[in-house]
Amino acid sequence: MIVCLAVVGHENNPLYIQSFTESDDALKLHHIVHCSLDVIDERVNNPKKSSPAINEAFLGLLYPTENYKVYGYLTNTKVKFILVTTDLDIRDADVRNFFRKFHAAYVDAVSNPFHIPGKKITSRTFGERVSSIVKPFGLNSAS
Amino acid sequence: MAPAAPKSGDVLFASVDRVNAELFTLTYGAIVRQLITDLEDVEEVNKQLDQMGYNIGVRLVDEFLAKSSVSRCVDFRETADVIAKVGFKMFLGVTASVTNWDAEGTTCSLILEDNPLVDFVELPDTCQGLHYCNILSGVVRGALEMVSMKTEVTWLRDMLRGDDVFELQVKLLKQVPEEYPYKDDE
């Protein structure tokens, strides 16, 4: 189950944060997202020798906390997508797929001539598309 | 030489040079954004877009008539059909449908279900009075004026404001007979 999605700009400014559960403290999720930014910076500055040059976008599991898993995705404009989920048996392929769709929705939102790059994403269509991508996510990996 | 038969919209669309649709959409979006930043008043922007469309329309109609070789339209109904089926298809790649004819046959609505100008666009709350596609109304008005028809073109429904289609109302005000600059008896 995805609990939180965040889009962070290239200067670590938040562009979009959405939590999908009411039970957990939103602040705690924001804090997790914030900490994961440090992990991303670390990964970007010290690339592992084994990382393939082709798909540098998907950073994979950033770090597992108590009951959450945090995945990262870096676009070539240094915009970071962060996914926090409670599923413990999630497949890598599912997360990659998710990020691909999320990236497509992000690109469409940013192509809006009224969107100012660097400011928060206020598009309602983007929010709806994100909800529709998030909903089947937990169902696929559970089955 | 026999005149060429009028070509259908699809054939014409396939024969003209194409440009990337996203480039076209993003360019138009940039124009509208810049107009809003420069003029700041939404009504002014609407007027400017209409004026720009008018300037495009008066030049576009010659290209349209040259490439499509449609014959003279008998009445306004045929004109509206030609605009919707051939004109829109040739220049925008989408076909419009014509509905809502009034009793005299001088007013109709062109319905566009798909509009390449508005891909990715969402109007912010500060620009709610903006007719984003006002350039299209100017184009239709300008083109018809060049073939001696004075019209009034307004938007009835706008997808960016929450409606389900774009509806453009075209009202024929006057058919202006062609004026010859020289008197016949001189």
**CATH number for A47:** 3.30.450.70
Does the beta carbon of B21 lie under 8 angstroms from any beta carbon of chain A?
no
| Dihedral sign computed on CA atoms, order B133, B137, B138, B140 | positive
Residue A55 is predicted with a pLDDT of 55
Model pTM?
0.81
Q: Which candidate in B27, B118, B121 is best for mutational testing of the A interface (most A CBs within 10 A)?
A: B121
> pLDDT digit string (tens) for A31-62?
888 888 888 888 877 766 555 554 578 888 88
Residue A143 is predicted with a pLDDT of 38
Neighboring chain A residues of B127 at a CB cutoff of 8 Å = 114
Give me the mean pLDDT over the B100-111 stretch: 87
Characterize the bridge pairing of strands B97-99 and B107-112: antiparallel
Residue B16 is predicted with a pLDDT of 79
Q: Give A114 to chain B, closest Cα distance, Å.
A: 7
> pLDDT digit string (tens) for B30-88?
999 999 999 989 999 999 999 999 999 999 998 888 888 888 888 888 888 888 888 88
Show the domain range for A9: 2-142
Neighboring chain B residues of A113 at a CB cutoff of 8 Å = 26, 29-30, 32-33, 120-121
The domain tally of chain A equals 1
- Per the CB < 8 A criterion, the answer to whether B141 and B53 are in contact is yes
Q: In chain A, pLDDT over 90 holds for what percent of residues? A: 6
What is the C-alpha to C-alpha distance for residues B26 and B117, in angstroms, rounded to an integer?
8
Q: What are phi and psi of B120, to 5 degrees?
A: 70, 0
Neighboring chain A residues of B29 at a CB cutoff of 8 Å = 111-113
